[in-house]
Amino acid sequence: MDIRIIKNPSPSEKPDENALGFGLTYTDHMFIMDYNRSVGWHNARIVPFGPLEIHPAAVVLHYGAEVFEGLKAYRAADGTVRLFRPLDNIRRMNDSAERLCLPVIDEDDAMQALVEFVRLEQDFVPHKSGTSLYIRPFMIATEANLGLHGINEASFIIIASPSGSYYKEGISPVSIMIETEDVRAVKGGTGYAKCGGNYAASTRAGERAEKLGFSQVLWLDGVERKYIEEVGSMNVMFKIAGKVITPDLIGTVLPGITRRSILEMLRDEGYEVEERRISVEEIINALENGTLEEAFGCGTAAVVSPMGKLVFNGREYTINNNEIGPLTAHLYDTLTGIQWGRLEDTKGWVLTI
């Protein structure tokens, strides 16, 4: 694939690595490629970062025809820039696109676009411990048509933002409220797709929990309201009596790449792992009889996020004395060690730019 590159004539100063935050500043360029049903994907280019020109009747604005991904570029101790399992992100984006009737992208073309874009913007990958360049590939339906039908025109875009450490003051357990009113997905819907509508619909419960002093919500299934699915926007895992249990992928849970990596690590290390339905009753029973040893969310942003308190129907339960469990800490140290190059990558997960 030929990628046309137009350099930004006014490059920006690199942001202060001590005050990066998340999604506050952006790199100098963005990748764009257009789709038309009659000609396919075409006009691949890297251009100066800036506003998009979009028709007011674009399908994405009215019917939410949009999918996205999130991954990071890491600065290793030797100065090299590394991506973590980028092909998995590309494949998941294509799965999401298929669900929303958006066009899929050739894996090689998508990988080429990602690598060329990161190579051009690699000076924006910060050096400070815990920081990274957050990369947001996304696809939107751009066709100007208020009729609801298949997608005839779309754009694939990549932007990036230098981001600070998720744990500015060190990793620490969070308090979680089990949500009993709103749901995030139902089987047959878009729960497994990474699309904006899923996240927009989950915002109300998250804000409600925050006002009550909780960091996030633990989602239950949308039919019986009894089976655990995700925590906030992350996959969730529980260590009960030495066994690690996580909700199975039945179409309502995002197939997380961090989730997949952790499950591979656990099985390699000899842990018994179960991917199955987990009722909230099972979790409460394990809390009450003392067999629930650790619980954590996992995803690209946090890697792992330990849960220290769980609240259900007004009753508060403490997990592992509100401390980080040894397995949670081990998983965090191992994954981040591989991502930042402190530990050897024996699985071929890392792509060096």
Q: Report the mean per-residue pLDDT for the chain.
A: 94
Q: What is the reported pTM?
A: 0.94
Read off the pLDDT of each residue in 130-152 and give the average, rounded to a whole number: 94
Is 16 within 8 Å of 25 (Cβ atoms)? no
For the beta carbon of residue 147, count every other beta carbon within 10 angstroms: 9
Report the pLDDT value the prediction gives residue 171, as an integer from 0 to 100.
81
**Would you give the end-to-end CA distance of the chain in angstroms?**
18
Read off the pLDDT of each residue in 170-190 and give the average, rounded to a whole number: 90
Convert the pLDDT of each residue in 329-350 to its tens digit: 999 999 999 999 999 999 999 9
Report the pLDDT value the prediction gives residue 18, as an integer from 0 to 100.
87
Report the pLDDT value the prediction gives residue 84, as an integer from 0 to 100.
97
Report the pLDDT value the prediction gives residue 170, as an integer from 0 to 100.
64
Report the pLDDT value the prediction gives residue 21, as an integer from 0 to 100.
87
Read off the pLDDT of each residue in 182-188 and give the average, rounded to a whole number: 91
Read off the pLDDT of each residue in 122-140 and give the average, rounded to a whole number: 95
Q: Who contacts 231 (Cβ-Cβ below 8 Å, separation ≥6)?
A: 176, 216, 217, 218, 219, 297, 305, 307
Flag whether pLDDT at 51 surpasses 90. Answer: yes
Q: How many residues does the chain have?
A: 353
Flag whether pLDDT at 166 surpasses 80. Answer: no
Note the helical H segments in the chain: 59-63, 86-99, 107-120, 196-211, 257-268, 280-289, 326-339
Read off the pLDDT of each residue in 87-96 and give the average, rounded to a whole number: 98
Residue 145: pLDDT band by 50, 70, 90 thresholds? very high
Report the pLDDT value the prediction gives residue 227, as an integer from 0 to 100.
96
pLDDT above 70: percentage of residues in the chain: 99
For the beta carbon of residue 45, count every other beta carbon within 10 angstroms: 16
Crossing angle (nearest 10°) for helices 107-120 and 86-99: 130
Convert the pLDDT of each residue in 272-309 to its tens digit: 999 999 999 999 999 999 999 999 999 998 899 999 99
Q: Which domains does the chain have, with CATH numbers?
A: 4-165 (3.30.470.10), 174-339 (3.20.10.10)
Read off the pLDDT of each residue in 210-224 and give the average, rounded to a whole number: 92
Residue with tokens 């650790």: 294
- Tokens read off for 8: 């930004």
Convert the pLDDT of each residue in 227-257 to its tens digit: 999 999 999 999 999 999 999 999 999 999 9
Q: Where are the beta strands (DSSP E) in 166-264?
A: 174-178, 216-220, 228-231, 235-240, 243-246
Residue 217: pLDDT band by 50, 70, 90 thresholds? very high
Read off the pLDDT of each residue in 18-43 and give the average, rounded to a whole number: 95
Report the pLDDT value the prediction gives residue 148, as an integer from 0 to 100.
82
Report the pLDDT value the prediction gives residue 259, as an integer from 0 to 100.
98
- Tokens read off for 251: 């179409």
Read off the pLDDT of each residue in 115-133 and give the average, rounded to a whole number: 95
Question: 103-117, 208-222, 263-277 — which is least confidently predicted?
Answer: 208-222
Read off the pLDDT of each residue in 139-150 and give the average, rounded to a whole number: 92
Flag whether pLDDT at 19 surpasses 90. Answer: no
CA dist 83 and 85 (Å) reads 6
